[in-house]
Each structure stands twice: as C-alpha cells, then as structure tokens.
Structure 1
C-alpha cells in the first residue's frame, strides 16, 4: 500500500479499484483557482462498487470537454461530481478524477500548453495520504505550472510547453504532478480545489539551446537557421533571431528587443 501511494503522489498513474458504500448517491464539488488564460478539462472515472459483477460500456463522465473550441462560452470552473452513479442497472463508485490543465499563451488555436493533475478516491487510505478538509469543507491540491519555451521551424517560432508540479505541505515544489487522495466517505458535500500558481520565470525547454543574459535569453544559432535543434555546442557568442507567437521578429526572450 505504501509503495503504491508513494508512486501515485509522486506523479505515477495507477488504476485503483473503488470500494463500496451504501446509501443514496451523493456528490462533491470540484473547482479550480488557476492563472489567467488557464482552464481545465476532466474525466471522472467510475467502476462497479465492491461486490458488483456488472459491466458498463461507458461508465465515465467528462467535464469541460472540447475546451479549445468554445471554452469561453461553455467553460465552468465549478463541477458537481457524483460520487456514486447507477448506469445500466450497475452501481458505480468514482475512483479517479483525471485532469488536463491548459494554458493559452497566444491567440492562435495552437498557442497553448497542457499538463495533467489527478484526484484519487479509495474506500480506505492511510491517514498520511488522505487529503484534509478545513472547517468550511474545502481541501486544496496545490501546484505550480511553469512555461518552458523553445523554437520550431526554420524561422524559429517560439512555442511553449507547460510543466506542472505539486507543491507539498512545506510549500516546496516536488517532482510529481499535482495529485490529491481522498476516501469515499470524506467527499459528500465537500469541495476539492485545485490551486495552481504560475512560476515567476520561464525556462528553456531543454539545455544548451539558449544563453542566459542579464535581461533575458538569447537563442544559439547552432549550425544555422535550418538547424532545428540549434544546440550551442560551445558557441555562446553567435545567436539567431526568432519569432514571437504574434509574428514579431526578436533577438531576446521574453522582451523581444535588447
């Protein structure tokens, strides 16, 4: 049990079997406190309660799906999540709430980055792994997302990747994704909030491609503009131009001009 939960809370992805509880169906509220131009998409995963032998073709429920097409009109921060459902006569219990976090950095449809987070629900958990609710019935899953920038194509357009990590109880950024864990009996009537802050600084997507200078980053030229990877390879004096997502021709990131 300990090894399984340690792997989970450090960012692993493990299928868990839901337990069983009697009584009427209940729900909890999922909400998110995200940076500007950030949204989430989620899927609540269900399995037959303990003791059931039935199967269901489509047991899961999606929230904020197809966000990139019309999320401004349809996107909802608060989602009411059933803990139990009965589908095709089969009693189901939630065992996982999978999240995709999206951040938009430009106006074009492809100008976004994404990463994942998760809420795990089990019938029983050791106390050290259980999320804690405050007097108002709210529990927070804290995390930090950071933009990682790179260039693509011969004109070296800036593209960004999103990297999201959990913040632990001591306020430290960990290696794992933002993950919270709760028991079925903790959730009725409660609120689980994903709280994501944005890192103050962006970083290159990988090493030896940009050089840090006093007022930003300069792009190594590599073997020339056609060199897609553009590694510095010891040349930290010759740099290339690049283009911002809005089309501006720049020499330094993120300020564009020196």
Structure 2
C-alpha cells in the first residue's frame, strides 16, 4: 500500500529503538548480512529490521533502522544488518526487514511520498524466487514509476501531486542461509509517468488532460463522452496538459 509522508528525519546509519524489557542500546555484535544497491536521484531508503526473541529470555520484539538520505544524484547505499545478536540475556533473531522507499518530486515538504517493500525470511524459497549465487549474492531490481493526480488537500486543490509505485521492491530469503551473504536490490525509474486513476485523464499528442464531468469539482472527474476538460496549477502556472503545461 502506498503512503504519503514528509520524512525530514532521515539519517545515514543505524537508529536503534526497542519495544523490549531488555536494553535498547544493545551492541550489534552477532551475525550479519549486507543489503546494498543503487537509488535514483532524489530517492532515500529506510530498512527497518524486526527481531524476535529466540530463547527463553523475558523480552519482546525489537526493531532497528538503517537509513540513507536524499541526494540530488544517483547514489549507492549499503546496510550491514544483524541476523542475530544478544541483548543482555535475550537472544534476538531477525524475523523480517521492512523497506520504505522515499521519493521527492519538488522542493516543498508535501512533494515527497513513499512506497513499501520488504525482505521476507522463509525456510524454503517459493517457486521462481532467486537464490544466492556462488559468490554469496542475490540480485534483484525494483522498477519505480510516478503516478500523478490533482491534489486532494484543501490548501493545494487544483495542483499536481504524485504517488510513488515501486514493483519488485523486495525478496524472499532463506533465513539459515543469510549470515555473511549479500542482497543487492537496485531501484530504477522506468516508463513514463501515468495517472493514478484510470479513466480520469485522457492522453493527447500534447500530453495528459484531466477531465471534468457533471459535478464540476476541484478534483479530476471520470471522463464523459464527449470528454470535458479542466485546467490545473503547476509551478505557479495555469495548465491544460501534463507535463507540458500548454498545448
């Protein structure tokens, strides 16, 4: 599920936080694997590793975050994520890794959004899932696309806003094979931008035109036959087509 957010708090490194009765400042000294890859310009990534208690310790699940901040050019990221570690008397073992892929399409706080992905730990790989090669690496590629719409926010009605859609942003991994291995997950922008809602915009030789219909609202509406079009705001201009603004 796609979500919106203003992740102004992204930091490179690790940020421990705990839901545990054990210490939240436990050192990460156990077995690890590497999550690495490439991010497009104006992207950031947060990997949130979730851990379960693996012994009879009186503790609870914990989570630790690994983050790469926005850069204006493509960047390489690399996280060394523990597979297991000890927190006092608690033996903690990795259960899953959630991924938050952040993208920005402008310089305003509201011009940021994100999509989700994840690394799922399993006992055996499902059919068709790639396995680690002889070099100890598994490689996957996520393809991301911008989806545009007219903003639903009252203060930005009639302006273009975007959502991020990333396909293939994750992998199945055999838990017992993970220590010492490398998971390479590259992200790339692919294809042209398209409307978030089908049937609400019509593509013309000059670009996409938003429809209005029987209601005449501030938002795009389902196209009628024959179609009726409305204007919208982009970069302080009144526009009739996206992304060219004028026909």
Which TM-score band (shorter chain)?
0.7 to 0.9
Q: Which residue pairs with 1:164 in the alignment?
A: 166
Tell me the equivalent position of 2:112.
112
Distance verdict in 2 for CA 1:228–1:54, change over 3 Å: same
The structure 2 residue matched to 1:64, chosen from 43, 60, 67, is 67
C-alpha deviation, 1:121, in angstroms: 1.9
Structure 2 Cα separation of the partners of residues 56 and 249 of structure 1:
58
Q: Is the 8 Å Cα contact of residues 34 and 79 (structure 2) preserved in structure 1?
A: yes
Shift of 1:184: 2.7
Shift of 1:88: 3.4
1:191 alignment counterpart: 182
SS at match of 2:108: coil
CA distance in 2, matches of 1:157, 1:163: 20
Q: Which structure 1 segments of 5+ residues have no match?
A: 1-23, 167-177
After superposition, the CA RMSD in angstroms is 2.5
Deviation (angstroms), 1:180: 0.9
Show structure 2 runs of 5+ residues with no match. Answer: 1-28
1:249 alignment counterpart:
238
Equivalent residue number for residue 102 of structure 2: 102
Provide the secondary structure at the position in 2 that maps to 1:110. coil
1:155 and 1:225 in contact (8 A); partners too: no
Pairwise CA distance, 1:36: 1.6
Kindly report structure 1 stretches of 4+ aligned residues shifted beyond 3 Å: 126-131, 223-227
Quote the Cα distance in structure 2 between the aligned partners of 1:126 and 1:207.
35
Greater helix proportion: 1
Structure 2: distance between partners of 1:99 and 1:242 = 34
Cα pair distance change 1:228/1:59, threshold 3 Å = same
The 1:228/1:257 distance shift into structure 2, 3 A limit, reads closer
Write out per-residue CA displacement over residues 144-183 of structure 1, whole angstroms, 9 at most, x where no aligned residue. 11111100257410000111212xxxxxxxxxxx331112
Take 1:115 and 1:159, find their aligned partners in 2: how far apart are those partners? Answer: 15
* Alignment of 1:206 onto 2:194: no
Matches within 5 A, 1:39-78: 39-49=44-54, 52-57=55-60, 59-64=62-67, 71=70, 77-78=77-78
Residue 174 of structure 1 corresponds to none
1:182 counterpart (173, 178, 192): 173
TM-score normalised to structure 1 length: 0.73
Q: Closer, same or farther in 2 for the Cα pair 1:58/1:247, shift >3 Å?
A: farther
The question of 1:239 aligning with 2:239 is answered: no
Q: Which residue of 2 aligns with 1:142?
A: 141
Measured in 2, the distance between the counterparts of 1:88 and 1:110 equals 42
Aligned residues: 213
SS in 2 for 1:78: strand
Report the Cα offset of residue 137 of structure 1. Answer: 2.7
Structure with the higher fraction of residues in strand conformation: 2
Q: 1:112 & 1:41 partners in 2: Cα distance?
A: 14
Residue 20 of structure 2: aligned partner: none
